[in-house]
Amino acid sequence: MTAHPAVSQTIASFGEATKAKTPNQEAIERLMRNKASVMGFFVILLFILVAIFARVLSPHDPLEITSGQKYLPPMWIKETPGGKASNPDYPLGTDSLGRDVLSRVIFGARVSMVVGFVPTLVIVVIGTLVGMVAGYLGGRWDNLLMRLTDVIYAFPDLLFFIIVMVSLRDSWLGQFMNGMFLLFISLAVVNWVGVARLVRGQVLSLKQKEFIEAARAIGVRTPRIMTHHLLPNTLGVIIVLIAFRVPGLIITEAILGYLGLGLRPPANSDSMFVTSWGGLLLEGQSAINAQPWILLGPAICIALVVLAFTFLGDGLRDALDPRMRGTK
Amino acid sequence: MSNEAETLLKVEDLKMHFPIYRGLFQRRVGAVHAVDGISFEVKRGETLGLVGESGCGKSTTGRSILQLYKPTNGKVLFEGVNLVDLTGEDLRKTRRRLQMIFQDPYASLNPRMTVEDIVGEPLLVHGVIPKEEIPERVKHLLELVNLNPAFSSRYPHEFSGGQRQRIGIARAIALQPSFIVCDEPISALDVSIQAQVVNLLEDLQKQFNLTYLFIAHDLSMVRHISKRVAVMYLGVMVELSSRDELYENPLHPYTQALLSAVPIPDPVADAKRKRVLLEGDVPSPVNPPSGCRFRTRCPIADKVCSESRPDFREVKPGHFVACHMVK
């Protein structure tokens, strides 16, 4: 077959095939132009590194009790009204038992990062699966799964956490990993519903698109339609959701810690997870008037991490939004 | 109409009703009668044009033939096999024989897949050729639709509407189907590109002996490409005939009105001709009129038209019409 003259001309004028940018590469480029997001990203990276190398970075053992060194002020206060002088060995001071506040804040980062990321993974996997099945298959599946999510959605989160923590705290499940495992499970149980609803909504709108119909007309099997056609087009929404969900979980953990429902005190000194920022807030609040520095570290860290995630999430949303495509 | 040609596709009393659910308990309160009992045949190698205004059920007909919607009633016999009865893997395997070209070249290509993945997917999921040979075959297919094969690693958003439609056509012919539903394949394109795409479709038809069901609302384009033309109104077929017979001697009052609305590129002739103007709007397909669907707007409707539904009968050899008033 010979090409039509007009067509061959079109082809010629289109020029040589240049290196194509994938939609993902374009999104990353847009993200890099957003300074607040890049800063947020580096702050998060910093906290992740701190969490990983907590044992190396902390100047003291976070559990080490030093008698006679109680309530030492941080280094920028020379002497408290009570007559205690700061000690350069303890830059952020010490708590009611003489433990180093800086070391405890550093170890707290570990809990917050893990609590932020690990349940999020579980949440996203379950939520995406449920949302996709409900949205794409529709009908009976949709009804069943969505009524289930409605029930979970309607149950007050905090009440659920309190009931779970109080009733299972002393079981083997509650003691496993100092209670971290139980915390993961209960956070995941409550939070997957939001992802499921969002993914279902996205899938419902994608389902109407002709490329899904085209895939069916070709004879693509349902699992492949889900993994190759629906998932890649939902990924943007899911990534943004992760960025906003992680700080939500960090705050939830801090609230639970503050309520005394978080981690159990570790059984031995080489435990991975010693304390959390929420737990530190609880310890600090009793001395909020006389020794406010105990609160200061964890409070600033929580605020910083949450803010960083929010900036990154905003940037990701703008970068991945297809309507933003092509804008400078 | 040549009777020697083999019937490739036979549609019998096809109905597609979409249920409407309302209220707290999602009770079924009615149905959209998108397609309400149509029968026709398509011969191998021909192009059957399907025209009608928006919402008359043209696209639904095409999609129900391909089993993208499960028809409420009726048979779709493709090479003697009733597609409506096929399910699961049997249906999936049959799908390679029937393909579709979509209206919107922007929505019909997955934005997250490269051209090679899009055009190669049918080959991959049906396993017709070894995986390693797919890139080479895709390049060949792109050449067939007059696209530069070097573009196969690009994404759909880097192409124009006409180029995207060519990608869609390459995908549709990848499995060497015998029947393709073209669902308004050119209505979303610039006029200058339309002719190119139509010529391409005609070339491919000759080359691969393809059979088209060409859905459109542009009557002059349908006249150009079709061998026979069917006219639909509100879910039913009102007239079916060979192209020249239909355009020169339309029998159904709706067809006459439709053809008289086609602009003539000659102001003198245009001023002289008699236009049939239809009054009122298309009735709702949820509650279609009794008897003849068209009677509410028909200039020659009689009492009998509201009482019984006219048969779709052959008034001349190869010329079918559904009207009580046509003798």
| Nearest-angstrom CA–CA distance, A322 and A233 | 10
Say if A249 falls within a structural domain: yes
B196-255 confidence digits (pLDDT tens): 999 999 999 999 999 999 999 888 889 999 999 999 999 899 999 999 999 888 999 999
Say if A24 falls within a structural domain: no
Higher-confidence residue of B8 and A2: namely: B8
User: What is the pTM (predicted TM-score) of this model?
Assistant: 0.81
A190-210 confidence digits (pLDDT tens): 999 999 999 999 999 998 889
Report CB contact under 8 Å: A220, B125. Answer: yes
Interface predicted TM-score of the whole assembly (ipTM), two decimals: 0.87
Confidence of residue A268 (pLDDT cuts 50, 70, 90): low
- Domain span including residue B93: 7-321
Confidence of residue A77 (pLDDT cuts 50, 70, 90): confident
Lowest mean pLDDT among A191-200, A310-319, B264-273, B289-298: B264-273
Say if A150 falls within a structural domain: yes
Going by their DSSP bridges, the two strands B211-215 and B179-183 should be labelled as parallel
The pLDDT of residue B269: 77
- Domain span including residue A205: 33-324
Interface of A with B in 40-99 (CB under 8 A): none
Say if A10 falls within a structural domain: no
The pLDDT of residue A20: 59
Confidence of residue B268 (pLDDT cuts 50, 70, 90): confident
The pLDDT of residue A9: 47
Count of CB atoms within 10 A of residue B202's CB? 15
| Residues of chain B contacting residue A7, judged by C-beta atoms under 8 Å apart | 146, 196, 200
The angle at the Cα of A19, spanning A14 to A24, to the nearest 5 degrees, equals 115
Question: CB contact, 8 Å: B144 with chain A?
Answer: yes
As a whole number, mean pLDDT of residues B71-88 equals 90
Count of CB atoms within 10 A of residue B182's CB? 27
Tokens representing residue A233 in the block: 């087009």
The pLDDT of residue A15: 44
The H-or-E segment that residue B72 falls in is: none
Say if B327 falls within a structural domain: no
Say if B1 falls within a structural domain: no
Question: CB contact, 8 Å: A211 with chain B?
Answer: yes
Confidence of residue A131 (pLDDT cuts 50, 70, 90): very high
| Nearest-angstrom CA–CA distance, A205 and A169 | 43
Q: Which residue of B has its CA nearest to A214?
A: B108
Q: Which pairs from A8-17 meet CB under 8 Å and 24+ separation?
A: A8/B146, A10/B162, A10/B163, A11/B146, A11/B147, A11/B148, A14/B148, A14/B151, A16/B150, A17/B148, A17/B150, A17/B151, A17/B153, A17/B154
Say if A286 falls within a structural domain: yes
Domain of A237, CATH number, reads 1.10.3720.10
Phi and psi torsions of A114, nearest 5°: -65, -45
Residue A267 has pLDDT above 80, yes or no: no
The alpha carbon of residue B243 is apart from the nearest alpha carbon of chain A, in Å, by: 26
| Nearest-angstrom CA–CA distance, B194 and B182 | 13
User: Under a CB-based contact definition with an 8 Å cutoff, are residues B52 and B232 in contact?
Assistant: yes
| Nearest-angstrom CA–CA distance, A32 and A16 | 29
In chain B, % of residues over pLDDT 90: 48
| Residues of chain A contacting residue B198, judged by C-beta atoms under 8 Å apart | none
B173-197 confidence digits (pLDDT tens): 999 999 999 999 888 888 888 889 9
Report CB contact under 8 Å: A210, B107. Answer: yes
| CB-closest option in A4, A211, A218 to B122 | A218
Domain count across chain B: 1
Say if A145 falls within a structural domain: yes
User: Under a CB-based contact definition with an 8 Å cutoff, are residues B293 and B231 in contact?
Assistant: no
Say if B2 falls within a structural domain: no
**Size of the A and B interface in Cβ pairs below 8 Å:** 99
Say if A170 falls within a structural domain: yes
B289-304 confidence digits (pLDDT tens): 888 888 888 888 888 8
**Exposed/middle/buried for B117, CB within 10 Å: 0-12, 13-18, 19+?**
middle
- For helices A35-52 and A101-137, the axis angle rounded to 10 degrees is 120
Say if B165 falls within a structural domain: yes
What SS3 state is found at A100? strand
Confidence of residue A103 (pLDDT cuts 50, 70, 90): confident
Higher-confidence residue of A272 and B196: namely: B196
Mean pLDDT of all residues in chain B? 89
| Residues in contact with B48: Cβ distance below 8 Å, sequence separation at least 6, in sequence order | B40, B42, B212, B213, B214, B226, B227, B228, B229, B230
Domain of B272, CATH number, reads 3.40.50.300
The alpha carbon of residue A3 is apart from the nearest alpha carbon of chain B, in Å, by: 6
Say if A20 falls within a structural domain: no
Mean pLDDT of all residues in chain A? 83
Helix ranges, chain B (H): 58-65, 88-94, 115-126, 134-144, 161-173, 191-208, 219-225, 243-248, 253-260, 267-272, 303-307
The pLDDT of residue A13: 44
Q: Which residue of B has its CA nearest to A8?
A: B146
The pLDDT of residue A326: 46
In angstroms and rounded to an integer, the radius of gyration of the C-alpha atoms of chain B is: 21
**Exposed/middle/buried for A113, CB within 10 Å: 0-12, 13-18, 19+?**
buried
Domain count across chain A: 1
Residue B147 has pLDDT above 80, yes or no: yes
Question: CB contact, 8 Å: A210 with chain B?
Answer: yes
Phi and psi torsions of A244, nearest 5°: -90, -20
Q: Which residue of B has its CA nearest to A3?
A: B146
Mutate which: B110, B175, B183, vs A, most A CBs within 10 A: B110
